[in-house]
């Protein structure tokens, strides 16, 4: 079992990033709380991309909170899509594919070109993005050469209007993994596609897996009410982890999952409650829960829905676990 102690509780936290340092966004300031330095900024969200902190504005910082110049002669904001050091900025009319490490604009595209292909889901590789339109069709698009490489119609499999669950497509090497379902939720399946050709590599009907998927160390994970399931994207083998004996009165929630060095952090809630107030650490090697902590308004009072704090996000590294909750609070636990 691991031991963590409460290091601090931070108030009025809009967003946070736990990297080597802990960065928090609060009252128009971005603060590195371990090194006690701040920068004033007008934004609502933070994102980590390959050694940089991006925001929902046009401002980018390195981890020392030095502002990085973005050489785009136009208005823009971060679109929340990236591949290694390549990020997408945009405004109402234009997409900017930008190498943030080398400070170079790679490609500028008129958004109207992508209209029929729909919304950008993710990068497949450095020069290819995946999009999905309103008619359940996926497109692999080479944005450098303005070329559609392949298309895949999800509705052809189900013979009904369909979608990708939460728009989550995971890129695992040369494969794309996603859970798709009909709009009425009567049918669903997990697909593994060849990222270069769009060919379906698995038998979706036989891949008993689905819902909100997470990628940790090359494996696809999902939560179960009383445990986890893990899929090998190359062999499609699914391994189940049953924690019902360790969680007799709790249910794992899929609001947030984090991973570091073989350990999954996840939120959970009482089986008869509605507030996900419990943090669990699951060791994927020993297949044991190695730490649990309930977040309460008042630690001296009983655990009831009225006294439980709703967990919003969990992040972890080798030393800390950071948990944001309702009420714009951030709990920071330090490994003993």
Q: Do 325 and 271 belong together in one domain?
A: yes
Q: Which of 177, 185, 181, 223 is nearest to 202 (CA)?
A: 177
Predicted pLDDT at 207: 84
Q: Is residue 205 part of a domain?
A: yes
| Number of separate domains in the chain | 2
Residue 138: inside a domain, yes or no? Answer: yes
Is 113 within the bounds of a domain? no
List, in sequence order, every residue forming a beta bridge with 128; answer none if it has no partner.
Answer: 125, 142
SS3 200: strand
Alpha helices by DSSP H, listed for the chain, are 154-158
Q: Rounded to an integer, what distance in angstroms lies between the CA atom of residue 246 and that of residue 67?
A: 47
Q: Domain end: 196, 211, 226, which one?
A: 211
- Is 52 domain-assigned? no
- Residues 255 and 181 grouped into a single domain: no
Query: Residue with structure tokens 């107030």?
Result: 277
Are 23 and 15 contacting, i.e. CB atoms less than 8 angstroms apart? no
Quick: pLDDT tens for 163-206: 999 889 999 999 999 999 999 999 999 999 999 999 999 999 88
Residue 13 structural domain: 1-33+245-336
What is the SS3 assignment for 13?
coil
**Taking 80 as the threshold, does the pLDDT of residue 281 lie above it?**
yes
Coil, strand or helix: which one is 309? Answer: coil
pLDDT digits (tens, 9 = 90+) for 25-51: 999 999 999 999 999 999 999 999 999
Average per-residue pLDDT for the chain: 95
Q: Tell me, what CATH number does 141's domain have? A: 2.40.10.480
Is 40 contained in some domain? no
Q: How confident is the model at residue 111 (pLDDT cuts 50, 70, 90)?
A: very high
For 260, phi then psi, to 5°, come to -155, 120
- 254: pLDDT strictly greater than 90: no
77, part of any domain: no
Q: What is the CA radius of gyration of the chain?
A: 21
Give the per-residue pLDDT at 135. Answer: 77
Tally of CB atoms within 10 A around 73:
6
Instruction: With beta carbons less than 8 A apart as the criterion, state whether 320 and 263 touch.
Output: no
Share of the chain above pLDDT 70, in %: 100
Q: Which residue among 211, 228, 258 closes a domain?
A: 211
Q: Please give the pLDDT value at position 289.
A: 98
| Res. 213: pLDDT tops 80 | yes
Last residue of a domain, one of 190, 211, 232: 211
- Do 165 and 210 meet the contact criterion of CB atoms below 8 Å apart? yes
Q: Does residue 322 lie within any of the structural domains?
A: yes
Whether 145 is covered by a domain: the verdict is: yes
pTM of structure: 0.94
- Give the pLDDT of residue 99: 97
């Amino acid at each position: 079992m691991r031991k963590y102690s409460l290091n601090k509780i931070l108030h009025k936290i809009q967003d946070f990033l736990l990297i080597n340092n802990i960065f928090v966004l609060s009252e128009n300031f971005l603060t590195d709380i371990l090194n006690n330095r701040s920068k004033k900024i007008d934004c609502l969200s933070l994102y980590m991309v390959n050694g940089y902190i991006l925001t929902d504005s046009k401002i980018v910082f390195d981890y020392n909170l030095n502002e990085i110049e973005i050489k785009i002669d136009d208005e823009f904001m971060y679109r929340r899509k990236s591949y290694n050091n390549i990020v997408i900025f945009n405004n109402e009319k234009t997409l900017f594919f930008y190498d943030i490490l080398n400070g170079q604009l790679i490609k500028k595209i008129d958004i109207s070109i992508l209209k029929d292909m729909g919304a950008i889901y993710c990068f497949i590789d450095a020069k290819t993005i995946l999009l999905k339109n309103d008619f359940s069709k996926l497109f692999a698009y080479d944005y450098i050469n303005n070329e559609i490489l392949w298309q895949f119609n999800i509705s052809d499999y189900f013979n009904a209007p369909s979608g990708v669950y939460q728009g989550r497509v995971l890129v695992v090497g040369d494969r794309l993994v996603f859970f798709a379902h009909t709009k009425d939720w009567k049918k669903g399946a997990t697909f593994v596609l060849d990222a270069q050709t769009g060919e379906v590599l698995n038998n979706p009907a036989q891949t008993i897996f689905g819902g909100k998927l997470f990628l940790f160390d090359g494996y696809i994970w999902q939560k179960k009410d009383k445990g986890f399931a893990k899929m090998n994207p190359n062999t499609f083998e699914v391994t189940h982890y049953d924690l019902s004996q360790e969680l007799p009165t709790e249910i794992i929630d899929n609001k947030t999952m984090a991973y570091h060095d073989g350990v999954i952090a996840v939120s959970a809630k009482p089986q008869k409650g509605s507030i996900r107030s419990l943090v669990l650490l699951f060791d994927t090697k020993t297949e044991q829960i190695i730490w649990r902590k309930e977040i309460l308004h008042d630690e001296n009072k009983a655990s009831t829905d009225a006294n439980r704090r709703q967990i919003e996000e969990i992040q972890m590294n080798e030393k800390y676990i950071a948990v944001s909750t309702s009420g714009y609070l951030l709990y920071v636990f330090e490994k003993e």
